[in-house]
Structures are given as structure tokens and as C-alpha cells.
Amino acid sequence: MTEASSPTPVDPAAIDYSGRTCLITGGAGFIGSHLAEELLGRGARVVVLDDLSTGQLANLERAQTFRTFRFIEAGVGEYEDLEQLISDADEVYHLAAAVGVDYVVRYPIETVTRNIFPTERVLELAAQHDRPLFLASSSEVYGRGSASRMRESDDMVLGAPDKTRYIYALTKLVDEYLALAYHRQRGLRVVIGRFFNVVGPRQTGRYGMVIPRFVTQALRGGPITVHDDGNQIRCFMHVRDAVAAIIGLMNNPAAFGQIVNIGSDTAITIRQLAERVREATGNHVRIEHIPYEAAYGSGFEDVRCRIPGLDRLRTLVKLGELRDLDSILRDVVQYERSRLAGSDEPDAELPVAER
């Protein structure tokens, strides 16, 4: 499809999943667990395959109340019955991956082993059994970023290999190339979603995600630690809107063979975000700026500005009005408050460098 041809956008709210079986890899994680609940609520049988490396069973508490839900604890690369799972499913959502700037900088080897071979295995089996596939990619593939909106047809500008964060982008790019190759050569019905800062309850701050990290810091009495000058620009999308986008894409045949940005295009600086988090928690804590080096060691390079172009997504999916930052922060603050109330590990959510 070119940008010029315009398929009818699919309304995700109108999609019924009764009678369908969905396999979600990485479904005990943040986005996967919300997706699992949504699909179950719409009548699907859902199977989650997750090795709990960064995800957790607690995320699946609600999903587990459905009799149509099944959880398998195993790695996508190693699980022997993966072929059976894929052939038994009507569709597959491949979300399992090594995730988070902090994780990637600390564990570059695991980033490669988790993000390439398991994806290749899923692609091959989905192609063999002709199962539609959603593949989770990332805005990280755009690399250094630019002042303007990032569009799916843009060139990628990655930093040199000694800038550690780009290893994640590279693995996700390999996944994207592989997925498109399976689409072209083998007719695989695959849609690639490039997520831009999807946030909400259950996201952990442990691997460098900014909103849960700021909220946890504020709730614990501060300071909120902003990396560098805080003028980095980001856009945040509520996970429930991201799940709607995934559902819309998977139910629009025009999306197959496409790469599609999934995010919000309302921009904010990280310093402003810290201030909004402070307001949302009602705790008037200090905001402190720390150099990247203190957080991630030497050789770290940040992306200054990241705003998605959403034309392609809106052509394919009827998204409606997205939830705003106030609503996101309300949900995250409420979630973190109750999580912290039940936690006896006070610093478990902070990246190692900031404990």
C-alpha cells in the first residue's frame, strides 16, 4: 500500500474475538498483559508464552480469572511445542523481547539473543501455518531522531557501535527486515508496530522507563532525577490506546506487509514531564538533573527528539481521541501508590545506577 491509496480505517471498538484463539508471546509483560485482558474480554481464548525475564505473573492476575486463558512459562527460542501453539492459534502477537534502555545497556548480549533468533522462529512457524502475526518493533529503530515527525519511510540514522543503546535498534531492525522478507517471499500476513513510549499501569521503571521511574521517585519523597538538561522531547501513549491500535491493525488486511508507528504525537520535554509528575502525585519533591554518565556509564547517547508521524496509523485504524497525559499520570500514580503500599523492597524499581 502507498500513502496515497486509502483503505477504510478499522474501528477497533467494533471487533469481536469470539471463537478466536490468540497466542501472545511476552504476554506477562506490560503491553502484552493489557492486550491479553482486552482480547479475553472480547471473547478470545488467549495463550500467553513468557519466560518472566522482565514480565511478571502479577500482571496476569485479571487474565487468570478467565477460563479461556492459559499461561506457559518458557522462552520463545527454546519452547519445544511452539509449532503446536502457533498452529493451534488463529493469530499471533509477538511481543517478547529484551526491553528498556537500562536493560539494553547492561545486557547487550541478551538483547541480541532475545530479539533476533526467537523472532525468526516465530516468523518461520507463522509462515508455515499461514497465521497472521503482529510484530512489536520500536521507535528506537529511527536512531538519532530529528526535529520533525518520524515517518515509517524515513532513513535510519544509528550511532556508531560503541554507543551502546543502538544494539536494541539494530535487533529490532533485523526483525523488521526479516518480517518484510517473510511477507514478500512467503506471503506471511504480518504487521509491524513501531511503539513510541507506550505507558500506563504495570510498566516497570526498573529498566529505564521514564514515567514509572519518575512517579516512583516522587511517591518516595524524591528527588526526581532527570537525565542531562531535560530538554529531550517525547510523546506518551496510554497502553489502552496502543492495544486498540494493535487490534485495529490486525483486523485490517491492508495493514499486512506494513510498518506502522504506534504512539501519540503530543510532545513534552522530560523536564516538563517531571514537573507534571510532581503535580500529579501532590508531593512537592526536588527535581535533580544528573549526567547520562551517572545513569548509564560512558558511551551513552540519548535521542533528543522523538515525535511519530501518525498518518499511516490513522489511515488504517479509527483511533478516536487519545487519552492525554493527565489521564496517563492519574492511572500510573494510582497503580504505583497501591504497588508501593504492598511492597517491602523499597528500591527495587530504580535502575541500578540510581539506587
Ligand X SMILES: NC(=O)c1ccc[n+]([C@@H]2O[C@H](COP(=O)([O-])OP(=O)(O)OC[C@H]3O[C@@H](n4cnc5c(N)ncnc54)[C@H](O)[C@@H]3O)[C@@H](O)[C@H]2O)c1
Cα separation of 242 and 195, whole Å? 8
| Catalytic residue flag (residue 166) | no
* Location of C-alpha cell 539494553: 104
**Minimum CB distance to ligand X smaller for 52 or for 353:** 52
Please report whether residue 28 would count as binding ligand X according to CB under 6 A.
Answer: yes
Q: Output the smallest distance, CB 221 to ligand X, in A.
A: 26
Cell numbers 517478547 label which residue? 96
Active-site residue identified among 168, 182, 207, 296: 168
User: Rounded distance, CA 205 to CA 54, Å?
Assistant: 11
Instruction: Report how far residue 276's alpha carbon sits from residue 332's, in angstroms, rounded to the nearest whole number.
Output: 12
How far apart (Å, rounded) are the C-alpha atoms in residues 236 and 266?
7
Q: Are 152 and 259 in contact (CB under 8 A)?
A: yes
User: Counting every residue, how long is the chain?
Assistant: 355
Residue 138 binds ligand X, judged by CB under 6 A? yes
Nearer to ligand X, 29 or 145 (CB): 29
Binding span for ligand X by CB under 6 A among 81-89, 194-202, 213-221, 226-234: 194-202
Reference 196, options 41, 49, 313; nearest CA is 313
Residue 201 has phi, psi (to 5 degrees) of -60, 145
Q: Which of 12, 26, 222, 351 binds ligand X (CB under 6 A)?
A: 26
Should residue 114 be labelled a site residue for ligand X when binding is judged by CB under 6 A?
yes
Select 96 or 170, whichever has its Cβ closest to ligand X: 96
* Distance in angstroms (rounded) separating the CA atoms of residues 39 and 229: 41
Q: Is 53 in the site for ligand X (CB under 6 A)?
A: yes
Contact between 52 and ligand X per CB under 6 A: yes
36 vs 285, which CB is nearer to ligand X? 36
Selected from 51, 152, 176, 331, the binder of ligand X by CB under 6 A is: 51
Binding segment (CB under 6 A) for ligand X, from list 90-98, 273-281, 285-293, 344-352: 90-98
> How far is 140 from 5, CA to CA, in rounded Å?
28
Stretch that binds ligand X, among 45-53, 126-134, 148-156, 333-341 (CB under 6 A): 45-53
φ, ψ of residue 333 in degrees (nearest 5) = -60, -45
Q: Does 30 sit near ligand X (CB under 6 A)? A: yes
CA distance 206 to 188: 35
Q: Which residues are catalytic?
A: 168
Task: List residues near ligand X by CB under 6 A.
Answer: 25-26, 28-32, 49-55, 75-77, 95-97, 99, 114, 118, 136, 138, 195, 197-198
